[in-house]
Structure 1
């Protein structure tokens, strides 16, 4: 690659702002934007000086003129747009979850094959507080990882007088989601555990609904196991009074020589709390998007594997789906 990567973006909702900023940071040229709500596409185009605006992805691909597409639309659009990309020889990055079910993901991956490069935008691995934990483990500060526990807490689905809960206002589609916390949010946490601990499988799980009027779960507890009796846990609740509306995370990783704790924005070794590193999560929120897009560009340029390649992310999708199977929810074979 001797010229700037030409990128088209499909999906111009809230999260697309961070995607578009990240492509600019990665040195890519954004040549087209598309959204079924043309007004949204036109607004983003004006904001980022993009000349080509579409309401139909098929029309955009027919016109061509780009090397890669970033699929930042809702999950139902992922597979159709990814197929268009493969058919037109366009490399693709797709927002998580890749598809609604593992079966759909497997079919999509088989359809795309090796015709184009295919990365899933799973950005929690690239968030600065998680990157700090990964760096400390790589620096051998705690020895071999032997146990891990991750949790997320937020008040985003707590009732608010006179209006809907914060997360419903921010993400109205949640009113129709039969799978919520694990599918939409904790898929990130399961991916982090896979990244830190290696292959895992679900032993058992429990899900609950504490918020009123929503079909999907907002509370979860998951027990996982790895090789040689390795144990990990993941739990979350989005109806936790006192916590911020946008959830925060706690991670504990126990090694043979030490223990790392990440509490919201603080990372420290147990026994050395006075040496904690603090991360400005709000000020550095854009960073994980920037790193993901730069990784995509570097992978194309250098012909190296993507860390969150479609096959790696398929394992995260399988882990997420197995949580629902563990509680008796059938979500596809």
Structure 2
């Protein structure tokens, strides 16, 4: 039996495994100029959705979040539960809100990390779940969790691309992981099947044409945007580029209970018309589709009811 002392990297990953999270990696706190060029080009081309952090420098440097940051702990949280026919919601928002679920798991993990590293004075951790300035998928790639698909998603071996990404900024110095030397099959099925023709041929995309973005966009939609939504019968999100991806065939289902239980398959116009904004928030506060409010959901359902 080996008495070799475990590295900080191994200790962190063991803690995540104790909570059923198999995909965890450690990324550096600053990123290279190549990502900066990519982000600037997307900005110049008008391909950003407007929901991203506007200051590019903040997307590249975790020390702008935590001055003495030393490491980024990145993890993938699977959510796939199989196909549900005739659902008008993307599979990522049928279960409980991943922002709440993932944050809850990571808060427990951060408590365990602080218990484990009690000798580290002033140990700091800050959790982000799709609400931080850094480029989540780039972190996942750098940390070795998965590899990029042409649709921009991070693909894991076990759960495909049906994973949420969370990360922890910390001043704990942890040995860094390396990216996986692998690419997707480049079959281009995601590009060919994208409803809004948002996906381009070089791992790039025009976020404003993405159906998921269109369903969350404020204000009036164009006739083209309405038609894309009606054709695909979806009122929030989009799964098409994931459904057609060969890397998502025969993947395992999530082991996270909150994503498996109390599933909402559909929202309907009659119910939404009968409840107030306050009632909507009270009923659906713990669902990812609720963040845009009742108005956007009502608009999208009304579009579905429109006659061609």
Normalising by structure 1, we get a TM-score of 0.23
Normalising by structure 2, we get a TM-score of 0.24
Larger fraction in strand? 1
Question: Whose RCO is larger (CA < 8 A, sep 6+)?
Answer: 2
